[in-house]
């Protein structure tokens, strides 16, 4: 008997790229709900947190629907969450953007800051250095993914001790190295846009979907 498609909630808090994310997840084999309903968000097998624009604006929109509480509750229960672009950035402690220092969700230590590169924003297709043990990039180690951003987390300082597994930390380079993706227990995030990365992006989302509890 075939397994039913896993249910993924895409958090509807006002971000601008939600519909392309919904379509990409559907193409990857998920049953998708664009929602802010708390019961739906908590009962879904996966939660996707998209994000475009400024760090401070995304945090303001998330706080308006008590999104931080939903994300924290899911992670505390070991329920998978995936962030995309600014949806990744807000997982860190702080974002410094155009002089504004904004508190993030604090799931990971670190600061999101402006890329140190001759040309900003970083816009276009780039390869990544997939982290050791990555399940997200399985079979996709040599693919390119679509980035559009001026800010990123540029160091990883979280110290994970046994028996907890080490995070898979993936890097990319634009001027200097920055975090392109992190897989840390139930929390996964990418700085690039899988939903804008063609077949490679669909395959990456499928890899994430394959890790979800059934």
Which pLDDT tens digit goes with each residue over 11-23?
999 987 799 999 9
Percent of the chain with pLDDT over 70: 99
Tell me the C-alpha distance between 14 and 187, whole Å. 21
* Structural domain of 179: 7-210
* 1 lies in some domain: no
Tell me the C-alpha distance between 214 and 209, whole Å. 10
* Catalytic positions, written as ranges: 85, 193, 195
Report the CATH number that the domain containing residue 136 is assigned in CATH.
3.40.50.880
User: Residue 50 pLDDT > 60, yes or no?
Assistant: yes
* 2 lies in some domain: no
How many domains does the chain contain in total? 1
Tell me the C-alpha distance between 70 and 78, whole Å. 12
* 47 lies in some domain: yes
Q: What is the pLDDT of residues 160-173, one digit of tens each?
A: 878 888 999 999 99
């Amino acid at each position: 008997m075939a397994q039913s498609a896993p249910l993924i909630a895409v958090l509807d808090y006002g971000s601008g790229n939600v519909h392309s994310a919904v379509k990409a997840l559907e193409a990857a084999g998920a049953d998708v709900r664009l929602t802010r309903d708390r019961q739906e968000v908590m009962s879904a097998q996966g939660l996707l947190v998209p994000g475009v624009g400024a760090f401070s604006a995304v945090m303001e929109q998330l706080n308006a629907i008590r999104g931080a509480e939903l994300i924290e509750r899911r992670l505390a229960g070991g329920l998978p969450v995936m962030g995309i672009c600014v949806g990744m950035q807000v997982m860190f402690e702080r974002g410094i953007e155009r002089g504004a220092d904004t508190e993030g969700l604090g799931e990971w230590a670190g600061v999101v800051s402006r890329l140190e590169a001759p040309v900003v924003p970083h816009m276009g297709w780039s390869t990544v250095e997939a982290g050791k043990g990555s399940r997200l990039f399985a079979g996709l180690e040599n693919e390119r993914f679509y980035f559009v951003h001026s800010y990123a987390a540029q160091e990883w300082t979280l110290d994970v001790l046994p028996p907890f597994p080490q995070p898979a930390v993936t890097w990319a380079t634009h001027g200097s190295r920055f975090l392109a993706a992190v897989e840390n227990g139930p929390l996964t995030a990418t700085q690039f846009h899988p939903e804008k990365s063609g077949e490679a992006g669909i395959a990456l989302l499928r890899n994430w979907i394959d890790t979800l509890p059934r």
